[in-house]
Amino acid sequence: MTYEVYVNVLPLKGLLDPQGKTVHQGLNKIGLSQVADVRVGKRIVMHIDANSEEEAKSIAEDACKKVLVNPVMEGYEIEVAQNA
Amino acid sequence: MTYEVYVNVLPLKGLLDPQGKTVHQGLNKIGLSQVADVRVGKRIVMHIDANSEEEAKSIAEDACKKVLVNPVMEGYEIEVAQNA
């Protein structure tokens, strides 16, 4: 079965996020001063062939640890959706 | 009140996504052949000062249209969470 899996990768809290800071300043500059804080990360959507939701999640976890995420600077969360 | 707002920006379906393709090939190369398709976009987390969920969402919508999203190549979705 094919599962659609979402991975959100964000800079760890407490670390500098220069991209987020730049976006924040840009938004304030064009008048959106209600925006108080911005962090920018990655959103990855994968289709994974697996026999169960758990298996799909563990494959995604593996992909995060080996390729997608730098654990020194980033945290991640995984959501498995209904089969794609 | 401060709302935590999540914006997911993804390359439009049907458009080439070179970053996703590269990640896909990389994952297959290290043995994760169950991963059948990958798309890579941005995940943006903002704190927005607003009087209601609707107002927070409309500010985020404005930010997307003016700064965060290139509508020629990208689609987006907005989620407003409980106040941060």
CATH number, domain of A57, equals: 3.30.1280.10
Q: What is the mean pLDDT of residues B50-75?
A: 96
Give the residue on A whose Cα is nearest the Cα of B38. A46
For residue B83, what pLDDT band results from cuts at 50, 70 and 90?
A: low
Q: 3-class secondary structure for B4-35? A: EEEEEEEECCCCCCHHHHHHHHHHHHCCCCCE
CB contact under 8 A, A59 and B26: no
Do the chains contact at B27 and A2, CB–CB below 8 Å? no
pLDDT tens-digit map of B5-29: 999 999 999 899 999 999 999 999 9
- Tell me which residue of A28, A51, A46, A47 sits closest to A38, measured CA to CA: A28
Question: What residue of A is the nearest CA neighbor of B68?
Answer: A23
Q: Is the per-residue pLDDT at A3 higher than 90?
A: yes
Whose structure tokens read 């979705």?
Answer: B77
For residue range A15-70, what is the model confidence (pLDDT) as tens digits? 999 999 999 999 999 999 999 999 999 999 999 999 999 999 999 999 999 999 99
What pLDDT sits at residue B84?
59
Q: Which chain A residues contact residue B10 at CB under 8 A?
A: 43, 45
pLDDT for the residue numbered A84? 59
The pLDDT score that the predictor gives to residue B26 is 96
Cβ–Cβ of B45/A9 closer than 8 Å? no
Question: In chain B, how many domains are there?
Answer: 1
Q: Report the pLDDT value the prediction gives residue A82, as an integer from 0 to 100.
A: 74
Q: Look at residues A69, A25, A19, A64 and name the one whose alpha carbon lies nearest to residue A39.
A: A19
> Whole domain around residue A60: which residue ranges?
2-83
A49 and B36: CB-CB below 8 Å?
yes
Query: What kind and span of H or E run contains B63?
Result: helix B53-63
| Chain A nearest C-alpha distance from B80 (Å) | 13
pLDDT confidence bin for A8, thresholds 50/70/90: very high
Give me the residue from A10, A32, A44 closest to B40, CB to CB: A44
Q: Specify the pLDDT at position B82.
A: 74
Q: Number of CB pairs < 8 Å for A and B?
A: 101
pLDDT reported for residue A44: 98
Tokens of A42: 């990655």
| DSSP for A16-65, written as a single string | --HHHHHHHHHHHHTT-TTEEEEEEEEEEEEEEE-SSHHHHHHHHHHHII
In this prediction, what percent of chain B has a pLDDT beyond 70? 98
CB A17 within 8 A of CB B46: no
Mean pLDDT of B62-78: 96
Mean pLDDT, chain B, as a whole number? 95
Tokens of B12: 């439009």
